[in-house]
């Protein structure tokens, strides 16, 4: 998914950047910078999508309040807060890349492994959308709204846990070399 962002970044490279990329020892640095930019764009896109979902959740919260579901407003508010925390964590997530003179260095293989976390986040964003749609359907049909909210809260907890594992991997890049620490992702992306 973020390969499209990497390709776009490469297409937009200036002549000086292309020249620098051709110098020995600099190519890897420029490639990492492109990957860093692409991964940031991917996380920005994920956060924007989740912002849209938050607005949909606000609308459902209002609809629930108008239809007499006051007893579930605390649970809805909790889900909104979890979603906002997730959005904030994704927006402020570390790039997972150190510059030339930084103490902690992340190698290209580790950066590729870190990319799996961002792809996993992008894939699982759809789960948030379907969870919010399930709440909407439950509100419309007077179904089990509490269960739908609980399911969404679980999905948000899982995503927040994934973001936490990503942050831990940045602090300890060796974790990225163990496949057991990496999230499962759709291999077609």
pLDDT per position as a tens digit, 108-143: 677 777 778 888 888 888 899 999 999 999 988 888
Tell me how far the alpha carbon of residue 84 is from its chain's centroid. 13
Task: Compute CA distances 29 → 44, 50, 58, 99, 115, whole Å.
Answer: 22, 31, 43, 8, 17
Token duo for residue 175? 């974790």
Find the farthest-apart pair of alpha carbons in the chain and give their distance in angstroms, rounded: 68
**Window from 140-144, 162-166, 175-179 with minimum mean pLDDT:** 175-179
More confident residue, 12 or 129: 129
């Amino acid at each position: 998914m973020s390969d499209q962002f990497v390709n776009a970044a490469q297409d937009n490279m200036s002549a000086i950047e292309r020249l620098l990329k051709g110098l020995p020892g600099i190519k890897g640095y420029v490639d990492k910078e492109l990957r860093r930019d692409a991964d940031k764009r991917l996380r920005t896109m994920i956060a924007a999508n989740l912002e849209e979902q938050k607005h949909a959740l606000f609308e459902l919260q209002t609809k629930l309040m108008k239809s007499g579901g006051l007893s579930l407003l605390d649970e809805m508010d909790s889900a909104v807060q979890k979603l906002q925390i997730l959005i904030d964590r994704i927006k402020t997530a570390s790039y997972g890349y150190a510059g030339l003179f930084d103490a902690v260095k992340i190698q290209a293989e580790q950066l590729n492994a870190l990319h799996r976390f961002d792809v996993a986040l992008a894939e699982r964003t759809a789960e948030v959308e379907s969870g919010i749609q399930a709440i909407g359907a439950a509100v419309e049909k007077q179904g089990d709204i509490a269960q739908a909210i609980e399911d969404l809260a679980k999905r948000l907890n899982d995503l927040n846990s994934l973001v936490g594992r990503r942050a831990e991997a940045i602090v300890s890049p060796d974790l990225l070399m163990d496949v057991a620490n990496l999230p499962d992702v759709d291999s077609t992306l």
